[in-house]
Amino acid sequence: FLRDVRLDQGADLAGRRVVVVGGGNVAMDAARTARRLGAASVTVAYRRGREEMPAHGPEIDDAEREGVRFAFLAAPVAVVADPTGAVRGLTCTKMALGAPDASGRRRPEPIAGSEFTMDCEVVIAAIEEMFQ
């Protein structure tokens, strides 16, 4: 997404609802860029709480100032599409924080039966593990 925008090949996000999945600096960059491209709303979905986000505090603060919303303790489960394949939402599970994991951050654990759907037309994955 960010590379495409840099190469002037970014998607037209004017008036669209965007969900960015992730909690790092790249997620903040993607969310802020989506707002600047005219998205009607941008929500960052992160499976832990704000305190556990790996993004730098000023990056998070700047995203908030630019109108980015946050859905903490929310882990994506599935992208919802209409019959034509167009994105219509992101189904997530609510999470609770358990014992710390190997990184020292509290491990997110799913809450059974807590699934909910965030309405959106665009989902941007900004999760570090995807690229390792």
Core vs surface per residue 67-101: b (16+ CB within 10 A) or e: ebebbbbbbbeeebeeeeeebebbebbbbebeeee
Residues 52-74: tens digit of each pLDDT: 999 999 999 999 999 999 999 99
pLDDT for position 19: 98
**DSSP H helical segments within the chain, as ranges?**
2-6, 25-36, 57-65
Separation of alpha carbons 96 and 47, rounded Å: 9
Closest CA to 59 of 23, 22, 31, 28: 28
Torsional class of 38: left (φ above 0), alpha (ψ -120 to 50), beta (otherwise): left
- pLDDT exceeds 50 at position 130: no
pLDDT confidence of 86, banded at 50, 70, 90? very high
SS3 31: helix
- Please return the burial class of 131, using the count of CB atoms within 10 Å of its CB with bins 0-12, 13-18 and 19+: exposed
- pLDDT exceeds 50 at position 95: yes
Closest CA to 46 of 131, 100, 125, 130: 125
Mean pLDDT of the chain: 93
pLDDT confidence of 131, banded at 50, 70, 90? very low
pLDDT for position 132: 42
pLDDT confidence of 106, banded at 50, 70, 90? confident
Helix (H) or strand (E) holding 45: strand 41-46
pLDDT confidence of 36, banded at 50, 70, 90? very high
Average pLDDT of the segment spanning 31-45: 97
